[in-house]
Structure 1
Amino acid sequence: MKWRALMWILWPSFLMAGAASAVVFALVDPLDVAIFGYIRLERDFLYAAGFFFFWLVAAGSSALTLFMSPVSNSDSTDA
């Protein structure tokens, strides 16, 4: 994969992950989250896990968008 394409995928998804984390964790306290009803995790761990989850989802969306975009003749000759 080209470095430019990787930048087009990771940078917007990073920004969206930050925005999504801010919105979700403004509404949900991580200490109120219980996995399988009884497992409680640290607040910092859930903040980080949530951010990386949102980043992965947004990166997948950006990668699919880039994959489905039409390829022009000038793009195909880039190294």
Structure 2
Amino acid sequence: MKISEAYGKVIIDGFEFYGQLEENKFCSQCKSNLVYYEKFDTYFCPKCNSWTESKCSDSHCKYCPNRPEYPLPLK
């Protein structure tokens, strides 16, 4: 898996989005660095392809209702 950052975006195996690679936050399962995904205002583990937080129950939330099941496209 190739991960890079440029101009406020993260690129993971060609998939590009606004966010940042976190230097001091790690996945509780695999210990990989977490990535912040700006569009959904939450963190995920690129290695596990899983969100670190569940969706909230706020019906007016602008992030959670549109958040996909997995952060990265499935291969």
TM-score bucket of the superposed structures, by smaller chain? under 0.3
Which structure has greater strand proportion? 2
Structure of greater relative contact order (alpha carbons < 8 Å, 6+ residues apart):
1
Scaled by the length of structure 1, the TM-score of the pair is: 0.22
- Where is the helix percentage greater, Structure 1 or Structure 2? 1
